[in-house]
Structures are given as structure tokens and as C-alpha cells.
Homo-oligomer: A and B are copies of this chain.
């Protein structure tokens, strides 16, 4: 059944495969009058793009987006907005040998089970190529957050294999730190702890040379988000954020705030105590709650983490079966990421931004008005 739409008040709907004509997203519910053009899409698409550095896949994709609808004279019209990103470097030959084999860790087998057959070229609809449409929509969601209340969403890599970054204050990490080292060189692994980042890059190179891949973790922070977003009881903000991140390829775990760390804690050490800040606003002394209580935002930074598995496609030989069940082996000849994390960051930011923009509009529908106030 339908599964290609996401969001309630702000809803994105996508279509597109790895090697078809292109990927398209329709974004519905966008407030009118927001300045928006193709230029707003380019930075995040560039961060997601293959071939951006030596530690990601060397596929070439051009990602030239076209706005098909919903923008007039440089501003959103309020009607549905569509963006098309054509596929270009398709090299179908790379994939023809996987037509009848199930790649370990991929969706080939499950697509066949579900649909009876599949577009086997590059994974078809199950390829991470579809996230280009999400990243485009996320760029617009980020603009809504910025225009509406100065909100911002930023992600970064916190772990690759055993290498773990030290992040003192998630909300103070800057986009520049994520994208550049102090010397102006590109931070190709997108980890703001520069010393660890250099080790991560070396590790990924080593793994790549071994024909292998490696997992990692990312943290996504939404800062300057107003209190009150999130809908009891099922559409809690934490629930929609978790769904958003789990809907991305390769995500095996999500946590927020102290996350799995809560398992070994006592209530007396876990609870964030309320206090009144210097500005007279009620806040908490700590943020183990990751910016959400009862599934509703508290006004503190929203802090999420996702576990991302090692890339399933490997240049080394793996045993598997054909679609008729015969034993065989497979070796991925395509150009794949030795570590998904650097390119995962803009995808995760996009999904988080979309959820928060959606919930802000939902909040406006029900909560921005009280009887007697207008």
C-alpha cells in the first residue's frame, strides 16, 4: 500500500529509482511567500552527492534539480511544490550481474518477495539514490524553520568503528566545523572533533583498501526549537523523529537524549530538574531528556543519534544464492561507499527538519489560537 508520503501538515511524496529517468518529490502544505530557488537546494545536495571526496563512492551524479511547480517569482506559492532531479551517470552495465543474485544486506530478496520482481538496476527504488529527493525537501524544511523561528538542524558524525568523537556541547557545533577543518581543508568525514576526524578518515581509507566497509553513528541536533511541538499520544515528536530516521537506509538504531544510557541509571540521577533561567524562562538544568518530555519539545536542543550499518555492497566476494535458490557468490563491481556516514549527515538533517517543520505547522493548526484571543 501507499508508503511514499511522509508528514501530515507538511507532507512530502517521492518517486524515483537509482537508474530510471529521475527522482521527484512533491511537497505539500508549504506556507506561501518563502523565498526559494534552486540555489537553496544545491548546498545540501552537494553534501549528499557521490564523488565528493576520496572516502565516499566515486560514482558521478550531477544532481541538477529543477523546480517543476509551486514557486512563482522566487517565492513559494502555497500550492504543491515539485522538484525533479534527473539521473545521469547510470552505467547500467555495472549492475546487470546482480539481476538474478541476492546481494547480502540489500533489499533484493525482500523486493522480490513483496512485488514478485524488481528493478534490479542499482537497487531500483531501494537504492539510497531516492534520498536525493528527501534532501531537496529538507532544504525547504530548513528554510521554513529558519524563517519561522530561527530554528536550525545540524548533523555530524560521532563514531566510525571504534573511533568516537568527543562533543562537549551538541548545540554549539557549527556547520563550518562539520564541513571544514581549522585549516580550511574540507572535513570530508563530517566529524567536528578534528583529531578524531583525521583518524576516522584514515580508518575509512584502510577499510576501503581492504575491500570492506565500516559502520558508524551520527548525532543530529535541532536547536532553537520552540516548546510545545509534538502530538500526544502516537505522534509524539520523538516518535515521528525516530520514524523519520529509521526510514533512511541502513539505520539500525535511534536514541535521543541520554538514550540507551538510561538503562543503567536511577531516576534520581536521570531526571533533569526544572529551574528558572536568567531570562525568567523555565528550563532544565541538564538535557538528558534530549529536548523532549512526554514527546513534546521543551525548548532545549533536540539531540538524536542514529546507528548506521556498514555498507552492504562489498568488492570482496561474498557467498549468496540466486533467485531460484542456488548457491553462488557475488562481488560488487560498482563504486560504493566504504562508510555511509559522511553522506548520511545531510539525509538525516533533512528528515529531522521535515519532521519539525511538519510539527510546527501542526502546532499552528491547533495550538496557536486560544478562545477569546482573536
Contacts and interface: CB of A to CB of B under 8 A. Distances in A.
A119 to B, nearest CB: 4
A47 interface: no
A216 interface: yes
A15 B231 CA distance: 13
21 contacts: A2-B10, A2-B11, A2-B28, A32-B116, A32-B367, A69-B125, A78-B115, A105-B289, A107-B295, A110-B230, A114-B363, A114-B367, A125-B232, A126-B232, A215-B264, A242-B246, A246-B254, A253-B255, A273-B319, A275-B319, A276-B327
B263 A159 contact: yes
A91 to B, nearest CB: 17
Copy number of this protein in the oligomer? 4
Contacts of A113: 227-228, 296, 298-299
A95 interface: no
A236 B232 contact: no
For the side of the interface on A, what is the size category? 35 or more
A184 interface: no
B216 A263 contact: yes
A141 interface: no
Interface in A274-319: 274-276, 280-282, 284, 289-290, 292-299, 307-314, 316, 318-319
B321 A17 contact: no
A89 interface: no
A194 to B, nearest CB: 20
A44 interface: no
A33 interface: yes
Interface string A362-374: 1111111111101
Interface stretch (A55-63, A79-87, A167-175): A79-87
A52 interface: no
A117 B33 contact: yes
Interface string A32-43: 111100000000
Given A110-B294, A246-B239, A294-B110, A365 B361 contact: yes
Contact of A365 (B207, B275, B364): B364
Given A107-B293, A110-B228, A29 B365 contact: yes
A34 B371 contact: yes
A105 B21 contact: no
Nearest to A299: B113
B368 A364 contact: yes
A8 B16 contact: no
A94 interface: no
B33 A13 contact: no
A247 B274 contact: no
B69 A17 contact: yes
Contacts of A325: 276, 280-282
Nearest to A370: B33
Contacts of A327: 275-276
Nearest to A296: B110
A187 interface: no
Contact of A314 (B21, B271, B309, B311): B271
B118 A77 contact: yes
Given A14-B26, A33-B371, A262-B252, A114 B228 contact: yes
A281 to B, nearest CB: 8
A267 B314 contact: yes
Nearest to A147: B371
A230 B32 CA distance: 15
Given A228-B113, A236-B246, A274 B102 contact: yes
